[in-house]
Amino acid sequence: MAAAQAVQNEVEPNGTTATATAITLTNGVAKVQGNIYPNADEDFYSFTGQAGDRVFVATMTAFSANNSTDSVIELIDTDGTTVLETDDNDGTFGANASVIAGRLLVNSGTHYVRVRHTSATSQLRGYDLYLAVRSGSPTAETEPNDTFPGQALPAGGYVSGVVNPAADFDFYSLALAQGDTVVVILDCDPERDGVTFNGRVGAGVFAGSQILVANDANIVSPNGEAFFMTVGAAGSYSVLIDGSGTGGSPTSTYVAAIFVIPAPAATVFTYSSTAPAAIPTGPGQVTSTINIPDARRIRRMALAINLTHTNMPDLDVTLQGPGGNEVHLFTDVGSNTQTTMQLGLSDDAAVPINSFLVMQGMVYQPENSAKLDLWRGRNSQGTWTLVIRDDSAANGGTLNGWSIIIEEEPALPAPGTGFTYQDIFTTDFESGDAGFTSSGTGNQWARGTPTAAPITTANSGTNCFKTNLTGNYAANTVQDLLSPNINLSGVSGPIFVEWAMNYQIENASFDHAYVEVRVAGQPATAVRVWEWMGATMQASVGNPTTTIQSATGWGLHRARIDSFAGQTIEVLFHFDSDVSVELCGLAIDDVRVFGAVGSPEIDIQRSSTSIADGEPNHALGNVSTLTGQTFTFTVLNTGNAALSLPGATPVTISGATAGLTVNVTMQPAGSVAPSGSTTFNVFVQPSAAGAFSFTVNVANNDSDENPYNFTCQGTGFTNAPPVLALGSPTDFTAGSDFDLTVQPGASLAGTNGAVLRVTDATPDPVDATITFSTGPQGATPPAGIVPPANVSGGAGAGFNLTWTGTANATNTPGTYVWNVLLTDGVSNVNRSVRITIANLAPAHVVVAPTTGSGALATPYAATIQIGSTTAINIATVSDGNTGQNVSFVSQSLTASPAGSSATHTFSVSPASGNPVTLVCTPSAAVLADLGDFDYTILVQDDTSPTPVQSTIYVRITIAGTAPSITSTAVTTAAVGVTYNYQVTATGNPSTFTFSASGLPAWLSISGTGLISGTPAAGDIGTTGTITVTVA
């Protein structure tokens, strides 16, 4: 016997072969539920079959809420267009349901089934589609199998036989579990030769001896029959195939697919009443209650009823839920020859309760206006009342007991590691409309407290939205209630929209309601997450007749809307009505949109081992009373949002043992990115030997671990801990850390080995563990520098730890830190070793003829004769970093003689090298340029990406040569004869001015140095000294 594993649902849109809903066949069979809605809807389904396979497909439409059951099914070939076979009304449940039985496939590949209503102006709300695909040859019947229970059903349930002679019965026995649905689809003309018979199928026994059968009386080939029934108890059952009881002949051949749809696999909770209650002879009624103490959110609900009555059609049965709403279950079912009702009611059952007169041993669907799905979302807690009305006199009975079976809504799926569910939008409408707006023709949406039965409360508080707070909705309305925009940025799946809803609505053929989610302002993106498909929510019961107004009561509905992640959405609640039958309407409350949002997840570790939040005994081991010990803890964020460690001191200590010194010596960073980490240090020093403890408290924004607390315990001891000290030789300097500065290209080993010495005063064997901690390159240690290897059980008398290698130019300048953990079996000592890679700035020294140091106070000084343009060397510039070259960057003039506009040019030679010479090339000077020129010079090395620069100060002095008289004086003169003496001179600059003092009255000197005049007779014998000045 073949069993399907799960009922499937159509997925709209599926109105073409291209969008067909794929059917998953398990053991070759499947059950699918769908709706032909709205008018002219068509549903396509796809499945895989091979040439030579036989296909059995049937619809069950008897529960269609609009009371129209006329389906058409078509089997379509792999090309998506060729119709292999069509059937309109070979089915029995309802009267115009459809069956295609045993059709042979001619091609291999994907085939299609199309389901539609025979009229484009009607609907099927809903239908069940059963499909079986059978390969190979069926197993032939084994006669005699004419009497119950018949032959055992062969494995796979694929059989063939002949109803012959007339009135032949073929029985096939099988075992069924409680809630299983047995399906029989019969092909009455497997040869497709036009020769058929009036086949009939059924199953039993029920009510002790009843075989229930289905037969649509069609005898036109191709001819098929289908039977479905859900059994109420586990046991042995049989399937019957015959010729309507009397038919049969050698040509009455058949092939049948017999298979099982298992009961839904779910955890259920059953609540029962076993107290008998007399059903009056009527007219009258009896009630029975079940009090459910558990608050379970109902996903699916079923009922079990056990009663006897001498005229079963007298009974009208309803169910009242907590809060008083009443839902009709069935009216006037059964027969006066069937006095026992012992059955289940479930929306998952195969056929409705009015399909047969027998009421014992099966599970039926309630009547159309009584779907148990109306209870979906309700809170189960409270008193439930079964009401049995007997509407005729003279017959009575007993309610022996009844049960409510509840499957609750499943828990939300886990949001994923590092995510938590957060409300994106929520409102209970108590403080206002919450941004909701309404519109439409005859719009009656209003917020407040409903006052018209059967809806007279809000779900929570006192306010909700309803299509008419004070009465029924009006005729000919189109009403939309629209949420404000809801931003789902940063929200990932799962995402849900949730709302509370209470409603009473006319048949969906006339009045409509639905809930949609769509991108804000884009109706074309709408996804319908709920839609009213049912029958009119009223029923006339009892005597005198009472009209039951069957509102659902407040139920919580939820739909998943992951496809809208990251978008801005709006939620639409739609209602529209036609010209007649106005009921209480649709009420909405407690709207909520929530989803998985990245959240921080804190974890604290020490030595790569996690410490649980609330850990009562995190062992620190032995800690010296002499030196104490620093413990490093790592805070990790394994979530998907930033972890915040707020305030200046997010880590605090409490509950420390008296006398214990315990301090947080380094707080963690205030924020930790997803997958990131930070550390904090706690220094612990006991005052005496013995046990100690303290609690670490870490404030954070992890919603369920704030603060993160754990208690540390350890033992104080007095023996000497290991010591890490300077070695010999060493480049390190000692302090709280050991520091060394090195330039790129410099070696750490050799004559200046970077050596530290480990000793222990005990002396104990000491383990040394060296781990790289951090640096300017993050977790990447500097290339070229090699730390010492870990030492295990080193001699307590002492050993060296030596850092070797060369600081490469590729290393990012900055401080690189190694952690050295020393353990002598009792004490742990943590020390840091810090090696700083720092580039040297280019250095410079004076060269002749320059003097000075190049500093601002004592610049390099050079004197240049006016007019000279010969370059002079100012200084030698070199870089102490191996492999670094020096180049010229810039010069700037900071002071110059008044009136001078001269600029002298500086450069280095060569243009890039190590060392280079700083050179000054003077410009040709004029008198205005005499004096001091002060320059600031920048040179740099070629460190990448940021060169290191040095500043050199230079003073250039432009000077001249003092004039010197080169002519010989004429010292005699004759009376009456003109005296001339041209004074000549040399010097730089070569333009001079002349003056003289001590000249007799008859002499004068010109500006060019000519002394001239003519002496008179009175000047005879006179002498004197004349001083000539040249400038």
For 670-718, what is each residue's pLDDT tens digit?
Answer: 999 999 999 999 999 999 989 999 999 999 999 889 999 999 999 988 7
Backbone angles phi, psi at 79, to 5 degrees: -80, -5
- Residue 836 forms part of a structural domain: no
> Which range (59-68, 162-171, 537-546, 759-768) has the least confidence?
759-768
Are both 181 and 228 inside the same structural domain? Answer: yes
pLDDT of residue 944: 66
Categorize the per-residue pLDDT at 25 as very low, low, confident or very high, splitting at 50, 70 and 90. Answer: very high
Categorize the per-residue pLDDT at 949 as very low, low, confident or very high, splitting at 50, 70 and 90. Answer: confident
Are both 358 and 478 inside the same structural domain? Answer: no
Q: What is the pLDDT of residues 29-77, one digit of tens each?
A: 999 999 999 999 999 999 999 999 999 999 999 999 998 999 999 999 9
Please say which residue of 568, 598, 628 terminates a domain.
Answer: 598
More confident residue, 501 or 728: 501
Residue 491 has pLDDT above 60, yes or no: yes
Q: What is the mean pLDDT of residues 888-916?
A: 89
The domain that contains 157 carries what CATH number? 2.60.120.380
- Residues 6 or more apart in contact with residue 270 via CB below 8 angstroms: 403, 404, 405, 406
Coil, helix or strand at residue 375: helix
- Residue 414 forms part of a structural domain: no
pLDDT of residue 748: 79
Q: Token pair for residue 529? A: 């997450």
Round the average pLDDT of the chain to a whole number and report it.
92
Are both 425 and 553 inside the same structural domain? Answer: yes
Residue 2 has pLDDT above 50, yes or no: no
Q: What is the pLDDT of residues 64-80, one digit of tens each?
A: 999 899 999 999 999 99
Q: What is the mean pLDDT of residues 579-602?
A: 95
Please say which residue of 378, 408, 438 terminates a domain.
Answer: 408
pLDDT of residue 882: 65
- Residues 6 or more apart in contact with residue 438 via CB below 8 angstroms: 445, 446, 465, 479, 480, 481, 482
The domain that contains 945 carries what CATH number? 2.60.40.60
Q: What is the pLDDT of residues 411-438, one digit of tens each?
A: 999 988 778 899 999 999 999 999 999 9
pLDDT of residue 750: 56
- Residue 506 forms part of a structural domain: yes
By the 8 A CB rule, do 476 and 531 touch?
Answer: no
pLDDT of residue 901: 85
Whether the link from the prior residue into 763 is cis, omega within 30° of 0, is yes
pLDDT of residue 627: 81
CA distance 141 to 239: 13
Are both 935 and 1010 inside the same structural domain? Answer: no
CA distance 804 to 41: 81
CA distance 367 to 968: 149
The DSSP letter of residue 992 is -
Q: What is the pLDDT of residues 174-209, one digit of tens each?
A: 999 999 999 999 999 999 999 999 999 999 999 999
- Residue 86 forms part of a structural domain: yes
Are both 710 and 732 inside the same structural domain? Answer: no
Q: Name, of 55-59, 259-263, 777-781, the range with top average pLDDT.
A: 55-59
The domain that contains 522 carries what CATH number? 2.60.120.200
The domain that contains 366 carries what CATH number? 2.60.120.260
CA distance 327 to 319: 5
* Residue ranges making up the domain that contains 652: 602-717
**CA-based R_g, the chain, Å:** 52
pLDDT of residue 972: 84
Are both 283 and 328 inside the same structural domain? Answer: yes
By the 8 A CB rule, do 223 and 244 touch?
Answer: no
Q: Which residue matches tokens 């612990």?
A: 684
More confident residue, 718 or 225: 225
pLDDT of residue 950: 85
Q: How many domains does the chain fold into?
A: 8
- Residue 116 forms part of a structural domain: yes
β-bridge pairing 253-261 and 2-3:
parallel
Q: What is the mean pLDDT of residues 820-838?
A: 87
More confident residue, 659 or 993: 659
- Percent of the chain residues past pLDDT 70, beyond the cut: 98
> In terms of DSSP H, where are the helices of 607-711?
none
pLDDT of residue 960: 76
pLDDT of residue 762: 66
Are both 535 and 444 inside the same structural domain? Answer: yes
Categorize the per-residue pLDDT at 590 as very low, low, confident or very high, splitting at 50, 70 and 90. Answer: very high
Are both 664 and 710 inside the same structural domain? Answer: yes
SS3 readout for 335-350: CCCCCEEEEEEECCCC
More confident residue, 749 or 20: 20
Q: What is the mean pLDDT of residues 937-947?
A: 79
Q: What is the mean pLDDT of residues 645-652?
A: 97
CA distance 83 to 72: 13
Are both 30 and 124 inside the same structural domain? Answer: yes
More confident residue, 675 or 762: 675
- Residue 609 forms part of a structural domain: yes
Q: What is the pLDDT of residues 288-344, one digit of tens each?
A: 999 999 999 999 999 999 999 999 999 999 999 998 999 999 999 999 999 999 999
> Which range (98-107, 135-144, 916-925, 989-998) has the least confidence?
989-998
pLDDT of residue 1018: 80
Residue 108 has pLDDT above 90, yes or no: yes
Categorize the per-residue pLDDT at 742 as very low, low, confident or very high, splitting at 50, 70 and 90. Answer: confident
Q: What is the mean pLDDT of residues 986-1011?
A: 81
Are both 679 and 817 inside the same structural domain? Answer: no
CA distance 933 to 1018: 58
Q: What is the mean pLDDT of residues 468-491?
A: 97
Q: Which one, of 351, 273, 276, 347, lies nearest residue 307 by Cα?
A: 276
Element (H, E) at 979: strand 979-982
Residue 5 has pLDDT above 70, yes or no: no
Burial of 291 (0-12, 13-18, 19+ CB in 10 A): exposed
By the 8 A CB rule, do 80 and 123 touch?
Answer: no
Categorize the per-residue pLDDT at 563 as very low, low, confident or very high, splitting at 50, 70 and 90. Answer: very high
- Residue 833 forms part of a structural domain: no
pLDDT of residue 810: 76
pLDDT of residue 1: 31
Specify the pTM: 0.66
Categorize the per-residue pLDDT at 3 as very low, low, confident or very high, splitting at 50, 70 and 90. Answer: very low
- CA dihedral (916, 854, 746, 889) in degrees, to 10, reads -50
- Residues 6 or more apart in contact with residue 750 via CB below 8 angstroms: none
> Which range (109-123, 132-146, 624-638) has the least confidence?
624-638
Q: How far is CA 866 from CA 99, 851, 902, in A?
A: 120, 19, 11
Residue 524 has pLDDT above 80, yes or no: yes
Whether the link from the prior residue into 707 is cis, omega within 30° of 0, is yes
> Which range (191-200, 247-256, 980-989) has the least confidence?
980-989
Torsional class of 886: left (φ above 0), alpha (ψ -120 to 50), beta (otherwise): beta
pLDDT of residue 761: 76
By the 8 A CB rule, do 495 and 564 touch?
Answer: yes
Are both 1010 and 966 inside the same structural domain? Answer: yes
β-bridge pairing 949-959 and 860-865:
parallel
CA distance 51 to 53: 6
- Residue 837 forms part of a structural domain: no
Please say which residue of 598, 624, 645 terminates a domain.
Answer: 598
By the 8 A CB rule, do 906 and 919 touch?
Answer: yes
Categorize the per-residue pLDDT at 945 as very low, low, confident or very high, splitting at 50, 70 and 90. Answer: low
Are both 474 and 587 inside the same structural domain? Answer: yes
pLDDT of residue 763: 64
SS3 readout for 474-526: CCCCEEEEECCCEECCCEEEEEEEEEEEEEECCCCCCCEEEEEEEECCCHHHC
- Percent of the chain residues past pLDDT 90, beyond the cut: 69
Q: What is the pLDDT of residues 841-857, one digit of tens each?
A: 776 767 778 888 878 88
Q: How far is CA 244 from CA 219, 762, 830, in A?
A: 11, 105, 94
Q: How far is CA 768 from CA 260, 682, 684, 755, 823, in A?
A: 71, 21, 20, 14, 7
